[in-house]
Structure 1
Amino acid sequence: MLNAFVSFAALAIGSAQPAEEAGTDVEALLDRMTLEEKVGQLVQFNGFWDPTGPAPTGDMEERKFAAVEKGIVGSMLNVVGAEDVRTIQTYAMENSRLKIPMVFAYDVIHGHKTMFPIPLAEAASWNMDLIGQSAAVAAEEAAAQGLNWTFAPMVDISRDPRWGRVMEGAGEDPYLGSRIAVARVRGFQGEDLSAVDTIAACLKHFAAYGFAEAGKDYNAAELGTVTLFNTVLPPFKAGIEEAGALTVMNAFNTLNGIPATADDFLQRDILKDRWGFEGFVVSDWGSGREMIDHGFAADLEDAARLSILGGSDMDMESYAYFEHLEGLVETGIVDEGLVDDAVRRVLQAKVDLGLFDDPFRYIDEAREAEVLSDPEHRDVSRRVAEESAVLLKNEGGLLPLKEGERIALIGPLADDKDSPLGNWRAKAEKDSAVSVVEGFEAAGIAFDHEPGVVLETSDTNFATEIEVNMTDRSGMEEAVRAAAAADKVVLVLGEDAYHSGEARSRAELGFPGLQQELLEKVVEANPNTVLVVMSGRPLVLTWADENVPAILQAWHLGQESGTALANLLTGKVSPSGKLPMTFPRSVGQIPIYYNALNTGRPGPRTEVFWSHYMDESNAPLYPFGHGLSYSSFEYDRLRVREKGNGFEVSVRLRNTGNHEAKEVAQLYIRDRVASVSRPVKELKGFEKVSLRPGQSRTIRFELTEKELGFYDPRGEFLVEPGAFDVMVGGSSDTALSASFTLSER
């Protein structure tokens, strides 16, 4: 009977003990483990065979299967579904000497069965409650399929939209990124990690992966320690200290010439010693082996040595620990105490997940069927999507669409039911998104649909390069005729979901294929054009900004994309998203971000000798925090007063338009003089509020030493007295300001 293997105490220790003494149980179990069993707990394999079919063939596959069958593998990833997980967990429980359960992991990035907006889009909602709900739904669905660990959230800060994985993060700002990290970890892990509707979170990628040079994935990262401590690390720290993230994943990149997988400064000094992180660190896929290509490890055995010395606890799919760690300990090259520390962390995580109490607690076919068919999950997806879209421009009140208008719905993404699912769409049912065409039909909007052009010329998947259409203009003439005959045009352009994501870096950030040509011809035929941009990153929209009166940044909004967009475009819902990342005017401005240093020659000056381009503005096309609604808002009565050990900032926000709408009030500060040069602006607070026409509300923010301090180059946190500016508004480009002085404490 499978349920015979349910008591950690009975199987591993021999006597029942209360949950609060789980640490003692782990030590007792560790004392009984052989070296082979210890190393096995630090190995993670990919799902490499059909658990319900024949055993795999081939030397490595047979060896991996034998290790799983023997019960000495700590974890597997990409084994999904109650039936398959039950089969493999049974191997571990029936055949392992100490009955140690396995932990099952999966990339639950922006939804599981129900696909949500990509994380960058969710970040644009600035709604921590909705972001937490999104993660909680994804966790419930993943757990119902026997999973108990996700490789999310990605909390890499990045200032470079050329990097494809910006779609998987929260953008460029460490404060917003930290708040989102906390919301997503809490959503995944809930209040009880052992509950059957929660899963363990994994903060990734530790660290500086988002600073890959030239925005090219897997590239080296070079940055100073002030940027490391003040920009890169805060979301990780918040996710651990405020939300209790159980695991951390290291990164593919080198930092200061050291591959992150072997970086003891990052993983041992900062993460485990300074921050007191008690969970475990898993490598990224094959990153241990990749240290050979980095020129850092001589061979796979050396990679195993360097990884364990550097603080990487579990090895994902490089086989370095599987092949060599036991021998390194037996020959005295690696201290067994390092292995014990890593195993202790892994075992404690399994205790926290409740797997020792019941290894099959997550495996229930009836719950799997019930949870995966819950219609409320798609409703949550729709609500998140509605708050994630960002209205970039709306000249002349072109939006919302009005009843009775003749609409031409044009563009290759208008009828796309797959791209809106986002880069991790392979995890969901293909073509399961509501398209814009379907959303318009359901909303009762009268329209003519013409795709205009085809975006792709081949069927693509996660592992292949995308070939875009550069020659087929056969549908363009019909689209232009439809545009000319309409009162208004809704033109849906952008990226296929696989134009962004891992390994999807782009040197140019315009519309792929013939879409720009279609855009220009449609606008010429009908200037009353609304541009809806589906993308996984900020694109260069300079031509559109100059020529199109209304632009809605729609990202990839998940399964309810079309429904949400119909609601937004018709005014049933007013847009409320704000940009989590700066939009550049040209690729040459990148990296461009709002919280930059002032430099010694900020300008502008009358002569040429100041920090600027000869052929481009310094200003972004759309600044961080920008986003319009169908209403308008006024900020006034900005006040700053001392309160306790900090300051209270208050401002009155008033809806001066004719629509009920939501606004994200944003608080920024500037430390005028410090021992380390500080940015011209730093986000330190925000609140999203809904106001009726004419309604006003006083919003209050608190500034404490946590918000006013910063890290020096050695990673020491400093709070220095002196003058500060405080700025409040609807984006980072706000002129409403006040000042205060922080006295010596």
Structure 2
Amino acid sequence: MAEPSVSRRAVMMGAGAMAAWAASPARALLAQATEQSRALPAAVEALLGQMSVEEKAGQLTLMAAAWSGGAATALNPAGARSSFDGQLAEVRAGRLTGVFNGNGATMAKRMQSVAMRESRLRIPLLFAADVIHGFRTVFPVPMAEAASFDPDLARRTARAAGAEAAAAGIDWTFAPMVDITRDARWGRSVEGAGEDVLLGRLIAAARVKGFQGEHGLAAPDAVAACAKHFAAYGAVEAGLDYNTVDVSERTLREIYFPPFQSAFDAGAPTVMASFNEISGVPSTANPWLLTDVLRREWGFGGLVVSDYTGDEELIAHGFAVDAREATKLSFMAGVDMSMQSGFYIRHLPGLVAAGEVPVARLNEAVRRVLALKVQLGLFDDPFRRIDPRREKTQVRTARTLALAREAGARSIVMLKNDGGLLPLPRSGKRIALIGPFASGRHDLIGTWNVYGTDAEAVDLETGVRAMVKDASLVSVVEGAGLDGPVAGGIEAAVAAARAADVVVLAVGEHARMSGEAQSRSAIVVPPAQMALAEAVAATGKPMVVLLRNGRALALEGAVLGASAILVTWFLGSQDGPAIADVLFGAVGPSARLPVSFPHATGQEPYHYDHKSTGRPNPPGAPQEYKTHYREFANKALFPFGHGLTYGAIDYADLDLGDAQLTASGAMTVRATIANSGTRAAEEVVQLYVRDLAASVTRPVRELKSFRRVRLAPGERQTVSFTLRRPDLLFIGRELKPTVEPGRFRLWIAPSAEAEGVSGEFSLG
């Protein structure tokens, strides 16, 4: 058979990758890895010299577990599968470094036993999993948790999830996802922290620290974190999953890189390459991204893993001619470990033999894998996390379920509360609980959970009935299906509404509308549910809308017109009780939107920190020939940072001191926050800044800090923030961080588009 032809472009790219690698010698890169990951013990280093090239390629090959767990098969795209016996044979032959999304400690024990007793070099396997927002105890989806504006809560839930996963034999999680997401059509926005860089950085660091714990990666309850997806996956065109990304280097450095840097600063030892291309070069084969920036510039010494078949997809991208070339391009660009394609075990030995991949580069990648296994304590005790007894006793405990309920309640955002309809009284009111999410153990835990199930979660009806004093006053009607009408549903719902004092309408997206491969062309409540909402609203009864969603939604009609709206996301194992806590006032709403809710789908991508343009609309009604749509202003329906409390919060008395910030000094700014309401409240006070004139145009606002403030009824507090010169850094014309003297506007406000209190200061 004739050898496939190789294009001139591919040769140049391959040569470029080789040159990029050669310009940074293996010993220098290894020194970085040694500094960050600790030197390999002599006995482990000696293994490298004993390995065949095929065994080295095996250490760089990760596959989905043939004996898979939970929803793993449905969540992972179609790909090559093998039998469990076949994978055991690969382990014996040293052709497999580990598996992911397997079936718990029993499976892991069998595989690890084969590795340690029957393989030639006795190198322990690595067990990985998608522990995105919980293991068996499921916590709110990451976007919901980001709404808490509480990084410590994110740390605590990640700590609990990591400990549960470790109890089931898992060493490594493919989380956190730290992509900044600014187009709500993209389904994977549910996995991240939203549109803001500061919040994204804080949540990224918190989740890394939570997964890895405080006692080192060798601790039996620690799992290694993996920051993903590097890079700019959240910028896919039109919010279409796997699509092209074409952004400036300034945008990469200012928006999409910082959360990864925070994850690495927090100790994440691994990173996953993204599916997308950036300006024509897929991330999985991008030497500038994976070597120039990640290795040389940032000094990252950890492990780079491909996403699921990411190297194989170079062929479909039109970037590689065949599997062999895809392997070479990916590996020489800086991807150390191949996930699921099997390309590395099949093609690296031949590439090394042909001199197209240097042995030093192969050894460098293998050292990174071995270093991770050393850090995880696997060479000291390959079974340290594999204990079927722990797996049964250290998951879904009373403590983790209580944390899930706390996290759920703290993630709920109150968008509206006209007339103080909420909280509902626990007695004396007839409540009609209506909608496809009113009852039933479905669509509770959300997308991307491999091991938890809706069957183990608590639904809304159960939570509400447990909260009220007389459950007989609660009627429950489905009204409509998730995606279509049900026979007689609207009639039954209208009858229930008429017989009630208040309607609680539970509508929105089902779990399969969010997550990977779930981009939506219209981010609206489905039509059948909207018809239900209109019919119920026509009864004139007070209505509370509970939105189930994994993204920002464009709200309209009766849903938007409801007296009260709570964004309840997908809250996990304690979904129903957490919603009931807020609905009836056992817990006050304190969350804020981590994403802007647009007026309409056509406004996407929208983010609060957009540029002014040369024709901004002045305050007031839209004017001709200014930056806005025909239908509405260039603002959000509900902006980033928005969220109400059960108090009545007022902002006053801005104090900027002398309104001067020197190059080496600090400036303290203050405002008075008061609760004039009759209920206690927890307010998220936000600090925004705008650089009024710079050598590179700046956003209309940027979040610089926030504080959570608890206020009793009638209480006033002075909230202080300190600004320093580094807080005003931006990426300048030379693509380097810079600060320029000038005038700045500052807001202390309850959201990105609220006035709050504001003033100007100068940087000298």
TM-score by length of 2: 0.89
Q: Which runs of 5+ in 1 are unaligned?
A: 1-18, 52-57, 457-467
1:594-633 matches, cutoff 5 A? 594-604=608-618, 608-633=624-649
Q: Secondary structure at the match of 1:355?
A: coil
Distance 1:27 1:553, change over 3 A: same
Query: Does residue 45 in structure 1 map to residue 71 in structure 2?
Result: no
Superposed displacement of residue 608, structure 1: 2.0
Distance 1:729 1:59, change over 3 A: closer
Superposed displacement of residue 281, structure 1: 0.8
Superposed displacement of residue 430, structure 1: 3.7
Distance 1:76 1:59, change over 3 A: closer
Distance 1:202 1:516, change over 3 A: same
Is the 1:42–1:346 contact (alpha carbons within 8 Å) kept by the matching residues of 2? yes
Superposed displacement of residue 386, structure 1: 0.6
Between the aligned residues of both structures, percent identity stands at 45
Which residue in the other structure is 1:392 paired with? 415
Residue by residue over 1:466-486, the C-alpha shift from the partner in whole angstroms, topping out at 9 and shown as x without a partner, is xx32x5342210110110121
Superposed displacement of residue 308, structure 1: 0.8
1:730 to 730, 740, 750: 750
Quick check: 322-331 or 360-369, which moved more? 360-369
Which residue in the other structure is 2:460 paired with? 436
Q: Distance in 2 between matches of 1:107 and 1:588?
A: 33
Residue by residue over 1:118-160, the C-alpha shift from the partner in whole angstroms, topping out at 9 and shown as x without a partner, is 0000000011111111101100110000001000111111111
Q: What is the letter of the counterpart of residue 636 of structure 2?
A: P
Is the 2:443–2:454 contact (alpha carbons within 8 Å) kept by the matching residues of 1? no
Which residue in the other structure is 2:28 paired with? none
Q: What is the letter of the counterpart of residue 627 of structure 1?
A: G
Distance 1:546 1:150, change over 3 A: closer
Superposed displacement of residue 452, structure 1: 3.7
Distance 1:266 1:713, change over 3 A: farther
Which residue in the other structure is 1:36 paired with? 54
Superposed displacement of residue 250, structure 1: 0.8
Is the 2:434–2:477 contact (alpha carbons within 8 Å) kept by the matching residues of 1? yes
1:407 to 431, 440, 444: 431
Residue by residue over 1:675-708, the C-alpha shift from the partner in whole angstroms, topping out at 9 and shown as x without a partner, is 2111010011111122211223222223233321
2:308 to 269, 285, 288: 285
2:540 to 502, 526, 532: 526
Which residue in the other structure is 2:511 paired with? 497
Superposed displacement of residue 59, structure 1: 11
Q: Secondary structure at the match of 1:620?
A: coil
Superposed displacement of residue 372, structure 1: 1.4
Superposed displacement of residue 733, structure 1: 1.7
Superposed displacement of residue 455, structure 1: 2.3
Distance 1:25 1:455, change over 3 A: farther
Q: What is the letter of the counterpart of residue 451 of structure 1?
A: V
Residue by residue over 1:328-382, the C-alpha shift from the partner in whole angstroms, topping out at 9 and shown as x without a partner, is 0110011122212211111111111111111111112222221014111010000
Is the 2:592–2:641 contact (alpha carbons within 8 Å) kept by the matching residues of 1? yes
Quick check: 597-606 or 431-440, which moved more? 597-606
Is the 2:688–2:703 contact (alpha carbons within 8 Å) kept by the matching residues of 1? yes
Q: What is the letter of the counterpart of residue 698 of structure 1?
A: T
Superposed displacement of residue 518, structure 1: 0.3
Which residue in the other structure is 2:763 paired with? 742
Which residue in the other structure is 1:706 paired with? 726
Superposed displacement of residue 323, structure 1: 0.8
Is the 1:636–1:652 contact (alpha carbons within 8 Å) kept by the matching residues of 2? yes
Q: Secondary structure at the match of 2:147?
A: helix
Is the 2:434–2:476 contact (alpha carbons within 8 Å) kept by the matching residues of 1? yes
Q: Which runs of 5+ in 2 are unaligned?
A: 1-36, 70-79
1:453 to 467, 479, 496: 479
Which residue in the other structure is 1:481 paired with? 495
Query: Does residue 636 in structure 1 map to residue 660 in structure 2?
Result: no
Query: Does residue 175 in structure 1 map to residue 232 in structure 2?
Result: no
Superposed displacement of residue 81, structure 1: 1.4
Q: Distance in 2 between matches of 1:103 and 1:699?
A: 48
Q: Secondary structure at the match of 1:478?
A: helix
Give aligned pairs, total.
706
Q: Secondary structure at the match of 2:295?
A: helix
Which residue in the other structure is 2:688 paired with? 668
Superposed displacement of residue 613, structure 1: 1.4
Distance 1:572 1:64, change over 3 A: closer
Which residue in the other structure is 1:581 paired with? 595
Residue by residue over 1:407-426, the C-alpha shift from the partner in whole angstroms, topping out at 9 and shown as x without a partner, is 11111101032211111345
Distance 1:59 1:210, change over 3 A: closer
1:73-112 matches, cutoff 5 A? 73-112=96-135
Q: What is the letter of the counterpart of residue 58 of structure 2?
A: G
Is the 1:413–1:451 contact (alpha carbons within 8 Å) kept by the matching residues of 2? no
Q: What is the letter of the counterpart of residue 731 of structure 1?
A: S
2:242 to 209, 218, 222: 218
Q: What is the letter of the counterpart of residue 211 of structure 2?
A: F
Q: Secondary structure at the match of 2:656?
A: strand
Q: Secondary structure at the match of 1:188?
A: helix
Q: Distance in 1 between matches of 2:206 and 2:501?
A: 43
Q: Secondary structure at the match of 1:153?
A: coil
Q: What is the letter of the counterpart of residue 433 of structure 1?
A: A
Q: What is the letter of the counterpart of residue 326 of structure 1?
A: P
Query: Does residue 322 in structure 1 map to residue 345 in structure 2?
Result: yes
Q: What is the letter of the counterpart of residue 631 of structure 1?
A: G
Distance 1:82 1:60, change over 3 A: closer
Which residue in the other structure is 1:383 paired with? 406
Q: Distance in 2 between matches of 1:49 and 1:383?
A: 34
Q: Distance in 2 between matches of 1:386 and 1:373?
A: 18
Is the 2:131–2:165 contact (alpha carbons within 8 Å) kept by the matching residues of 1? yes
Q: Distance in 2 between matches of 1:647 and 1:273?
A: 35
Query: Does residue 655 in structure 1 map to residue 675 in structure 2?
Result: yes
Q: Distance in 2 between matches of 1:701 and 1:331?
A: 61
Q: Secondary structure at the match of 1:104?
A: strand
Superposed displacement of residue 615, structure 1: 2.7
Q: What is the letter of the counterpart of residue 436 of structure 1?
A: L
Is the 1:392–1:553 contact (alpha carbons within 8 Å) kept by the matching residues of 2? yes
Distance 1:59 1:216, change over 3 A: closer
Which residue in the other structure is 1:271 paired with? 294
Is the 1:178–1:234 contact (alpha carbons within 8 Å) kept by the matching residues of 2? yes
TM-score by length of 1: 0.92
Which residue in the other structure is 2:569 paired with? 555
Q: Secondary structure at the match of 1:635?
A: strand
Residue by residue over 1:261-305, the C-alpha shift from the partner in whole angstroms, topping out at 9 and shown as x without a partner, is 011111111111111111111100001101100000100000100
Distance 1:60 1:393, change over 3 A: closer
Q: Distance in 2 between matches of 1:118 and 1:443?
A: 24
Is the 1:225–1:713 contact (alpha carbons within 8 Å) kept by the matching residues of 2? no
1:200-211 matches, cutoff 5 A? 200-211=224-235
Q: Distance in 1 between matches of 2:628 and 2:530?
A: 28
Q: Distance in 2 between matches of 1:408 and 1:704?
A: 53
Q: Secondary structure at the match of 1:503?
A: coil
Superposed displacement of residue 672, structure 1: 1.5
What is the root-mean-square deviation of aligned Cα atoms in Å? 2.0
Q: Distance in 2 between matches of 1:429 and 1:452?
A: 22
Distance 1:130 1:699, change over 3 A: same
Is the 1:109–1:153 contact (alpha carbons within 8 Å) kept by the matching residues of 2? yes
Q: Secondary structure at the match of 1:421?
A: coil
Q: Secondary structure at the match of 2:578?
A: helix
Q: Secondary structure at the match of 1:420?
A: coil
Q: Secondary structure at the match of 1:657?
A: coil
Which residue in the other structure is 1:465 paired with? none
Superposed displacement of residue 629, structure 1: 0.8
